[in-house]
Structure 1
Amino acid sequence: MDGGGIVEQRRETVGSVNSRVGYVHKISMKRKKKMVMKKETKKVRKQNATAIQELFDSCKLVFKGPGNVPSPPDVRSLCRILDKMKPEDFGLSTNLHFFKVTGAGKGNSRVTTTTIYQSDKFSLCIFFLPASAVIPLHNHPGMTVFSKLLAGTMHIKSYDWVSPPNSDSSQLRLAMVKSDNVFKAPCNTSVLYPTTGGNIHSFTAITPCAVLDVLGPPYSKSDGRDCSYYKEFPYSHFSNGETRELGEEEEGESYGWLQEIDVPENSEMDLIKYLGPQIIDTD
C-alpha cells in the first residue's frame, strides 16, 4: 500500500481531516502549561524521534532500489525495529477519539493516509481505517512491503499467483490464499515479496486501525509498478473443466480465482499532512 500510488486521493483541508485522526503533540501542548510537563513532553518527543529515525536509517541500508529484494538478514533486522514500534512513535495515541469510535455506520468510513517519507527506493506511510473501512484487494508489483499494525483489530486476506499471467488481464487467474486471518495490535510485522508472501492483499478494519507500510520500491506507473485491483471468486465457482491436480505439498491449501477490475470507488482516500516526529535525511 502506498499513499501516493495505489489510490486516487481526494485532498481535503488539512485541518478538518487531521481533526478526524489527530496527533498527540497537537493536543497535549494545548493542555500542558507547566514547565515540568513541557520538559517531559520534549523527552517523549525525543524518544519518538529516535525510533522513527532508526527506522528511516535502516530502510536506507535495506532498500537498494528497483529490482532488488532485501536479503533475509536485512528483512529480520527491519522487522526487529518495526515489531517494537508503537503509535506514540509517530505522535499518535490510542486514547484519541478516532480509535474510540467503533461499529459500522458511525462517522466517516473513508480511509485516511499520510506519507512520512518517499524516495525512488522506499516510502513510509500510515493508513487510518475507521471501523468497517476497507482497502480493496490490490497488488504490489516488483515490491517488498513491510506492514506493521500500530493500533486496532484488522482482517487481512492475501493471495499469491499460481497460474501465469494471461494476455487478457480481465481473465480469471488462479491464486493461492496465503493469509485469511484477524490481527490485533500489538502484533508482529508482516512481509510480502514481489512473488510470494501474499503480494495481493486486502485490509478490513474490525475496529479503528492505524497501519504503517514500508514499501521498497514505492508504486510508480512510469516504472511499471502501477497498482491493480481484483475481484475474488471461490475456487469451486469456476472449477468445472479447470480443476488442477494438487501436489502433496499443496494438499489442504486454499485457492481462489482473481479477476482484474477497474479502480473501485472505495479505494479513494483522504490525504493529510504528517505532523509526527520528523526524520533527518543527511543525503
Structure 2
Amino acid sequence: MERNKIQVLYDACQALFSQKGLPTFQQIHYLKNLLDKIEAIDVGIDEFGLCDSPVSDANVHGSRGLLCGRGFSEITYIHIHECDSFSIGVFCFPAGKVFPLHDHPGMTVLSKFLYGSVYVKAYDWITLDCTGCQTIGLGGRVVDEVITAPHEPTILFPRSGGNIHSFTALTPCAILDVLSPPYSQEFGRPSTYYSDIPIPSLAGYAMLEEKPIPNDLVVQGAPYLGPSIVTVYDHNFGQIDCDNHM
C-alpha cells in the first residue's frame, strides 16, 4: 500500500532525528524536499473553503470532513505528532493576526507555507547576554519579506537562518512546521518572546529584549483530520501504534 505524504514525512523525521548525531546538511535538504510536496489537503485542510465554521462537510477522508482554511477566527494549531526527537504540526492564521517575535532554542525548524501570504521578520543573535533576569542582545535581521504560497520550504538552524522570528498574516494562511527537538520546558527549550528596538545608525540590526508572553496572544487547538500515520513508540519492543489524533 502506498504511504500518504504525511506518513512519508513522519518516517523520514523518525529516521533522521532519532539517529545518533545530528542529521547531515544533505539529510535536512532531503526532508525539505518532502515538505515541498505537501499541500493543505494532505493535512486535512480545505484552503479554499468559504464556510463560516472551521470544520467543513467535505467528505474526502472517509467519514471525516476537512478543516476550513478560511473558517478560523484565531491562530490555531493542529497537532499531528510529537515525540522526544521532533514534532509535526500546522499553524493556521486568519488575516491580520500576528504571532509575535519568538525563538526556537537549540532547534532545527523546517516550515512549509501551505497557502496564503504572510509577512515574516526574523533575526539571528549577534551578541547575547543571558546573565540577568531577562535575555537581551543585538540581533541581525536576516528575513524581512512577504512570503506567498507556493514557496519553497524554509530552514532555520539553532544559530542561523532566522531563529527568532514573527509572522503577520496578510491573508488566511497556514504553515506546516517540523521542529527538532520540540519545545520542552523540562529540557531547557522554552519559547521566549522578544521586543525589537531598531538601531537607527545600524540598518538591519536591533536590540532584542525578552518580554513576557503577550496577553493578547491566543492560540486555539483543532483536530488533525488528515490521513492517519503509523508511529513507532517503543523501538526496544517493536511496539507500533496508530496516531489518528481524532
Aligned to 2:129: 165
- Structure 1 CA distance for aligned equivalents of residues 13 and 116 of structure 2: 25
- Structure 1 CA distance for aligned equivalents of residues 88 and 135 of structure 2: 33
CA contact (8 A) 1:117 1:124 kept: yes
Aligned to 2:225: 275
Amino acid corresponding to residue 269 of structure 1 in structure 2: V
- Structure 2 CA distance for aligned equivalents of residues 120 and 218 of structure 1: 7
SS at match of 1:79: helix
Alignment of 1:252-267 (within 5 A): 254-267=204-217
Aligned to 2:198: 234
SS at match of 2:120: strand
Per the normalisation by structure 1, the TM-score is 0.71
Q: Kindly tell me: are residues 154 and 69 of structure 1, through their superposed partners in 2, closer, same or farther at Cα, counting changes over 3 Å? A: farther
- Structure 1 CA distance for aligned equivalents of residues 224 and 149 of structure 2: 21
Identity of aligned residues (%): 38
If each structure's strand is expressed as a fraction of its own residues, which one has the higher value? 2
If each structure's helix is expressed as a fraction of its own residues, which one has the higher value? 1
Return the match for 2:13 from 59, 68, 74.
59
Aligned to 2:4: 50
Aligned to 2:85: 121
User: Does 1:90 find its partner at 2:40?
Assistant: no
SS at match of 1:128: strand
CA RMSD of aligned residues (A): 2.1
Amino acid corresponding to residue 227 of structure 1 in structure 2: S
User: Does 1:154 find its partner at 2:118?
Assistant: yes
Return the match for 2:27 from 69, 74, 79.
74
Per the normalisation by structure 2, the TM-score is 0.82
Q: Kindly tell me: are residues 52 and 171 of structure 1, through their superposed partners in 2, closer, same or farther at Cα, counting changes over 3 Å? A: closer
RCO comparison, higher one (Cα < 8 Å, 6+) = 1
Deviation at 1:162, TM superposition (A): 0.3
Q: Kindly tell me: are residues 166 and 177 of structure 1, through their superposed partners in 2, closer, same or farther at Cα, counting changes over 3 Å? A: same
Deviation at 1:169, TM superposition (A): 4.5
User: Does 1:213 find its partner at 2:140?
Assistant: no
Amino acid corresponding to residue 33 of structure 2 in structure 1: R
Deviation at 1:68, TM superposition (A): 5.2
Deviation at 1:279, TM superposition (A): 0.6
Aligned positions, number: 216
What runs of 5+ residues in structure 2 fail to find an aligned partner?
51-67, 233-239, 241-246
CA contact (8 A) 1:230 1:260 kept: yes
CA contact (8 A) 2:45 2:69 kept: no
Return the match for 2:103 from 139, 142, 150.
139
Q: Kindly tell me: are residues 166 and 223 of structure 1, through their superposed partners in 2, closer, same or farther at Cα, counting changes over 3 Å? A: closer
Amino acid corresponding to residue 34 of structure 2 in structure 1: I
Deviation at 1:210, TM superposition (A): 0.9
What runs of 5+ residues in structure 1 fail to find an aligned partner?
1-45, 102-106, 244-252
- Structure 2 CA distance for aligned equivalents of residues 164 and 95 of structure 1: 43
Amino acid corresponding to residue 152 of structure 1 in structure 2: G
Deviation at 1:129, TM superposition (A): 0.3
CA contact (8 A) 1:69 1:144 kept: no
Superposed CA offset, 1:202-245 (max 9, x none): 11100001110000010000000011000011112xx6xxx7xx
